[in-house]
Structure 1
Amino acid sequence: MGEARGSIGFFATYRPPVPLDVYSCPIPPASKQDELHMTDGDSYNYDAQVIPPAALKTMLKRPKLASEATASDVDSGRVTGMIMVSERTHNLETLHIALRFNDDTPKVKV
């Protein structure tokens, strides 16, 4: 069986009246606490994509991310990532990377 892939597509002809957020959870989730907020809760966020492991390993070599995790963290499933478009400052659309750390207490760093 091939690699499981997924994405979330979003399109609107107008800006909705409330900000949109992105969440993640393991499949299948064991409880509601498995669902983690991948965004800041204030901004408009859309077009989220899971970062493939090979690409995530390459990204983790960048100086800003190198201290966050290693390639072995990706291989073990401790770290996964998503990339999304987010409007955070003056309606400027920028790409943001969210890393999910699947430790005893899962956490997200954007």
Structure 2
Amino acid sequence: EGIEFHCGFGPARLLQEEGRLVGLELHACTSLKDEEGRFAPRFDTSSTLRLAASHVIFAIGQVSELDGFAGDVNVERGRIVVEDITLATSQWGVFAAGDAATGP
């Protein structure tokens, strides 16, 4: 299918030109846990990878952080509201699935 995995990197920022998504910048992950063994990734911001992209699917973590989406799509009870069959949100061209839409 042409899918490439870039293990050992975490998302840093979306790249845009003239208000349109053109890619994703990633930083190298140096550790995943803190001294107590809790999930707390750390990144080397000097080690970056830039990927061209017209679409980005976020599927990271175990808890959905939806505050940034609340102004653009309908969010109820900590979940993005989607159509049952298409998974379309209230924003045209934006889709949601997985824990962000159904919960854990």
Normalising to structure 1: TM-score of the pair? 0.25
Structure number with the higher helix fraction is 1
TM norm structure 2: 0.26
More strand by share: 2
Whose RCO is larger (CA < 8 A, sep 6+)? 1
Name which one, 1 or 2, has greater alpha-carbon Rg. Answer: 2
